[in-house]
Amino acid sequence: MPPDAILEVKNLNAYYGPAHVLQDVSFEIGSEPTAIIGRNGMGKSTLCLSIMGMLQKVDGSVRFHGEELLGKPPYKVAAAGLAFVPQGRRLFQSLTVEEHLRLVSNGNGNGRWNTERIYELFPRLAERRRSGAMQLSGGEQQMLAIARSLLLDPKLLIMDEPSEGLAPAVIDHLIDAIRGLSAEGTAILLVEQNLSVATELADRHLVMVAGRIAAETTADELENDPDAQRRYLGVEPLAEEA
């Protein structure tokens, strides 16, 4: 284990009914951004949900700064400093941007994050503050989902496929924003199937195959190994830089 490990996952198992989906998953992350990559159905989202206390049938151990989180309800996991941006964003159809943010920021004035800082990070959200969530573009919805989790002042931000369905220009903005969060000390655990997003944001990559961590690799290794890209993600290799 690296000396600066903050999250330690040990022999984590998760089940949906009789289906044993996570199988003895063990890894730890430090404060450097870490990516979890893998094809569809490999258990990446289940891993996030298990860490966040959102699944019932789990066993093993999830420690954050030494504190056992497994078995705690999601609000206690959040109170320990973890925030989660779920796959597909999960916004409230009937609420505006501002209402989403107010819902989280109420009575919480001394954290690092407040609505003004959120609007500085994502100026587009300020322009759209009175728009309903369903009127937002995919990129704006993703910004709002991230913004909402930042208002919890997380020490560790877990994001499940944040770039899914976004246009390339929007993805660039998303990458900048996530880099900024990392630079100011928020630890990042990023689940991604978009290899260029994953390698731009994280050096360290854990590969999930069939509910297990099957390999650990680096952005450099991945970028230079089209075979591994195919094996791990089932995608065509990254295009050569012009």
Ligand X SMILES: Nc1ncnc2c1ncn2[C@@H]1O[C@H](COP(=O)(O)OP(=O)(O)O)[C@@H](O)[C@H]1O
Give 238-241's long-range contacts (Cβ < 8 A, gap of 24+): 238/195, 238/196
Does 43 sit near ligand X (CB under 6 A)?
yes
Distance, CA of 159 to CA of 188 (rounded, Å)? 8
CB 25 to Mg ion: min, Å: 15
Interactions with Mg ion, residue window 85-144 (CB under 5 A): 87
Q: How far is the CB of 186 from ligand X (least distance, A)?
A: 22
Judged by beta carbon, residue 45 or residue 131, the one nearer ligand X is 45
CA dist., res. 153 & res. 13, Å (int): 28
CB atoms within 10 A of CB 171: 19
Q: Could you say which of 9, 42, 189, 197 contacts ligand X (CB under 6 A)?
A: 42
Q: Is 79 in the site for ligand X (CB under 6 A)?
A: no
Question: Widest CA span of the chain, in angstroms?
Answer: 51
H/E stretch holding 221 reads helix 219-223
Q: Cβ distance 140 to 169 under 8 Å?
A: no
Q: Is 154 in the site for ligand X (CB under 6 A)?
A: no
Tell me how far, at minimum, the Cβ of 23 lies from Mg ion, in Å.
17
What separation in angstroms does the CA of 99 have from each of 140, 166, 207?
15, 23, 37
Which residue, 81, 36, 88, 77, is CA-closest to 55?
A: 77
Q: Is 177 helix (H, G, I), strand (E, B) or coil?
A: helix
Residue whose beta carbon is closest to Mg ion:
45
Which range binds ligand X by CB under 6 A, 14-22, 23-31, 135-143, 212-220?
14-22
Q: Closer CB to ligand X, residue 46 or residue 163?
A: 46
Please choose, out of 13-21, 77-85, 140-148, 150-158, the segment that lies near ligand X by the rule CB under 6 A: 13-21
Measured from the CB of residue 165, what is the shortest distance to ligand X in angstroms? 14
Q: Does 45 bind Mg ion (CB under 5 A)?
A: yes
Distance in Å, CB of 48 to ligand X, minimum: 8
Q: CA 15 to CA 153: how far, in whole Å?
A: 30
The item of ligand X, Mg ion, none sharing an interface with residue 19, based on CB under 5 to 8 Å by kind, is ligand X
Q: Which range of residues in 33-41, 75-83, 198-206, 212-220 is near ligand X by CB under 6 A?
A: 33-41
- Alpha carbon 101 to its chain's center: 19
Number of residues that bind Mg ion (CB under 5 A): 3
Query: How far apart are CB 55 and ligand X at their closest, in Å?
Result: 9
Distance CA 137, CA 152 (A): 24
Q: Which residues form the interface with ligand X (CB under 6 A)?
A: 16, 19, 21, 38, 40-46
